[in-house]
Amino acid sequence: MKNFFLAPSVLSANFSKLGEDIQKSIDAGGDIIHFDVMDNHYVENLTFGPMVLQSLRDYKISAKIDVHLMASPVDSLIPKFAKSGADFISVHPESTNHIDRTLRMIKDYGCKAGISLNPGTPINYLDYVMDQLDMITVMSVNPGFGGQTFIPESINKIRQVRQRINESSNNILLEVDGGINIKNISDIALAGANVFVIGSALFGSSDYTFVIRKLRQELKKVHFNLMN
């Protein structure tokens, strides 16, 4: 059976009771916690440091945590987030002078390595690093803020990245980040994604279980279509 993973995004959670809200999203059926790190240099916003990640681990959040580093320079942050409890660390190719070396550093610190592609970033950045990757994230909004609308042209990019993954024969997750909701998740899954970052569509609801159940229902339809 094809596996689909829902990744609640910390960026959209209630910061005044962060641990409780994240645990609530996991209890509702979330699989992976998506942790956006913005440095007010690479993007025009400032969010979380490694101490916040450590606080979630101290709160006994045991789910896998996917740290998305929107920061430049980025290399010095990798050991800090690895030691604070990251399972995945993803970087943007524009944030480092040597993307291969950065990806190897992530693995050296015991984390799975990912690359994030902005809407305007060409996929040829993948050409020489596929063997280093555990995850590829297609940004379906421009990075920096939550609550944005999904960019429709992202569907074609997701298809292209899925083709690259299939041709590589590597076990690489394809994550999509930005503007995902109940109405569009099936199209995104049919294009080839299997990890879905869910922000305001989840945390903007009063019933997380209902939202995740509806998302799963849409993904179940996709699974049925792919199997037939």
Catalytic residue among 27, 100, 177, 187: 177
Say how many C-beta atoms besides its own lie within 10 A of residue 107's C-beta.
14
Q: Are 185 and 165 in contact (CB under 8 A)?
A: no
The full DSSP string for 11-30 is GGS-GGGHHHHHHHHHHTT-
- Assess whether 36 carries a catalytic annotation: yes
Q: Residue 44: helix, strand or coil by DSSP? A: coil
Burial of 164 (0-12, 13-18, 19+ CB in 10 A): buried
- Assess whether 108 carries a catalytic annotation: no
Catalytic residue among 27, 31, 36, 39: 36
Closest listed residue to residue 32, CA positions, set 112, 151, 146, 103? 112
Measured between its terminal Cα atoms, the distance across the chain in Å is 12
Q: Are 17 and 50 in contact (CB under 8 A)?
A: no
Q: What is the 3-state secondary structure (H, E, C) of 42-89?
A: CCCCECCCHHHHHHHHHCCCCCEEEEEEECCCCHHHHHHHHHHCCCEE
Please state whether the peptide bond connecting residue 79 to the residue before it is cis, i.e. omega within 30 degrees of 0.
Answer: no
Q: Which residues are catalytic?
A: 36, 177
